[in-house]
Amino acid sequence: DKLLEQNFPMIHAVGAASENTPRLIDLKIGGSGPKLTLVGKGVCFDTGGLNIKPGNSMGLMKKDMGGAANVLGLARAIMGLGLDLQLRVLIPAVENSIAGAAFRPGDILNSRKGLSVEINNTDAEGRLVLADALSYASEDNPDLIISMATLTGAARVALGADLAPFYAGLDSHASAISKASVEAMDPVWRMPFWDPYDKLIEPQIADLDNAPSGGFAGSITAALFLRRFVEKPEKYIHFDIYSWQQNAGVLGPKGGITQGPRAILLALDELISI
């Protein structure tokens, strides 16, 4: 399999049970300026894997590629403005399906970075595919990496569907995004990379745990997990979005929505020197 040959073992593992071959989409758009890399979770459908979702939780899982859709929209807006950036978009595109080839609870997966990951829940698959993509992104030494993903139910529980939590390694980045979100009418809320919770994602069997037991701080621990795969955490921003509007409203008709790109676009000159 090409993904294994190219050393993307976790993307391969998550997509192994699907009839649709998992891919890592890598788009590079010209320019000679600073390097901006956007990474979007592209889980095109999520059954939960062998830790299968109940029916009432699976119905909306066509939206689990919301992170990919949002980074593609942001990339198109940046291109439309003609900004002088070395823009790159990475999308791990997979289906988390159920079959004999599915990865299992209790598996230990190796990652592109070399960290081992204990699988405690196959429904925490998004962070696995993002981890390999973030490792790959870091190898190019970009000036800024932004990831977007419909990553955790904990984010929805904490802030609801309208308000997108985000994490930033630098206070200046967080301030710029928060300020721009008001002007852009793109509501976001900063959450902390809370270092004391790092121990929650260290299972002792492997380097990392993809689904810590206890249920505490689910969005934060997912963000901390992703941060482990970025070489320069101070140059990393992560959005844990819901990306869906259940009923028609001011943002448009029922369906997928953008969360974060307008704020990012407005703050971009403060996030990266263009």
CA separation for the pair 19, 41 (Å, rounded): 19
Whether residue 53 lies in the annotated active site:
yes
**Identity at 57, one-letter amino acid code:** S
The answer to whether residues 129 and 92 touch, using CB atoms and an 8 Å cutoff, is yes
For residue 130, the SS3 value is: helix
- Note the residue count of the chain: 274
Tokens representing 238 are 């992560």
H or E segment and range at residue 158: helix 153-159
Strands 116-118 and 208-209: parallel
Backbone φ and ψ of 8, nearest 5°? -125, 65
Convert 66-125 into a string of H (helix), E (strand) and C (coil). Answer: HHHHHHHHHHHHHHHHCCCCEEEEEEEEEEECCCCCCCCCCCEEECCCCCEEECCCCCCC
The answer to whether residues 234 and 170 touch, using CB atoms and an 8 Å cutoff, is yes
According to DSSP, residue 46 is labeled E
121 class by beta-carbon count within 10 Å (0-12 exposed, 13-18 middle, 19+ buried):
middle
Q: Which of 88, 127, 227, 228 is catalytic?
A: 127
H or E segment and range at residue 129: helix 126-138
Q: Which of 23, 53, 62, 190 is catalytic?
A: 53
Catalytic residue numbers, as ranges: 53, 127
